[in-house]
Amino acid sequence: MHCKPSLALFEPICLDELNACARMMTRVDRKYLLTGNEARELLASLPQSTRILEINGRFLQHYRTSYLDSSSWGSYFTAAFKRRRRYKVRMRDYVDSGIAFLEVKTRGPRGTTVKERVPIKVEEAYGDRIPQRLEPWLAQTLEARRVDVGAEVGALRPTLRNEYWRATFKPEGEGRVTVDSDLRWHSSRGGHLEGLDLVFVETKSGARPSVVDRQLWAMGLRPQKVSKFGTGLAVMHPELPSNKWRRAMQTFEAARVSADVGADIAAPVE
């Protein structure tokens, strides 16, 4: 679902200005799953004062991400079982910006999400492990957050590759909003998922809901427990524990049927 004609209605904001007013490295995330039509309705309802991120003349930014995990699915299981010290390690290529980062996401106090990152070369984002020179940084970062990965950080390997196109909005007040469309997943252990009538909307704010949260609620939509990493793997690998994402998986399946993308996508366990 690309909404480019609608995106041009918003006043642009550059990345430096957005980061200056709403970098949101520590924040409360609220995630929503929408159909393409619902996403278009949401964009049409946003206040005229809402601004949209523009990078190199583009309102849609292409993201490619490799999520890393241990051979025993350590990161996945900490998320599936809602462990307090859950974590994600990923290498992300911000394609349109020509930059890439090794990123770590952990849980902070009172349900906040903490993201820490360090630059890497773009080609390193597609490697079969994190850059060796950054293993000490990753180990120290996880230790500081009191996270035990259950393996040497050098043993982490790409488990899931994901890509999508993102529009980022700055509404009035605190926070920012991302709208991700044309999502695709590839599992290193077999599995491929794409073509769904599905849009990820994520609000990133403080403890108070944003104006966009309130608009989504007015549309009858509520936050869901969903993760591009965890839910994507759960849909492609029904043998994995996935009760946390059961509602989201049902939405994935409905989006699969709506898009009629074929039978090569594994259906969630009933």
pLDDT at 253: 87
Residue 58 DSSP label: B
Place of tokens 């695709």: 184
pLDDT at 151: 75
Alpha-carbon 185 to chain mean position: 12
Amino acid at 253: E
Rounded to the nearest 5°, which phi and psi values hold at 113? -110, 130
> What tens-digit pLDDT sequence spans the chain (270 residues)?
455 447 888 999 998 898 887 655 566 889 999 999 999 999 999 988 999 999 989 999 999 999 999 988 999 998 999 887 889 999 999 998 899 999 999 987 766 788 899 999 999 999 999 999 999 999 999 999 888 887 789 999 999 999 999 999 999 877 899 999 999 999 998 899 999 999 999 998 877 888 899 999 999 999 999 999 999 999 999 999 999 999 999 999 888 777 654 333 333 322
Given the DSSP bridges, would you call strands 11-13 and 51-53 parallel, antiparallel or unpaired? parallel
Question: 131 by DSSP, 3-state: which?
Answer: coil
pLDDT at 26: 62
Q: How far is CA 97 from CA 56, 59, 85, 100, 165, in A?
A: 8, 12, 31, 9, 13
pLDDT at 172: 84
Q: How far is CA 30 from CA 48, 194, 239, in A?
A: 22, 23, 27
Determine the Cα–Cα distance for residues 260 and 258; give it in Å rounded to an integer: 6
Name all domains of the chain by residue range, CATH numbers in brackets.
27-220+228-265 (3.20.100)
Taking 3-state DSSP, the helix, strand and coil percentages for the chain, each rounded to the nearest 5, stand at 35, 30, 35
pLDDT at 170: 93
User: Which residues, in sequence order, are CB contacts of 178 under 8 Å at separation 6+?
Assistant: 166, 167, 168, 169, 200, 201, 202, 204
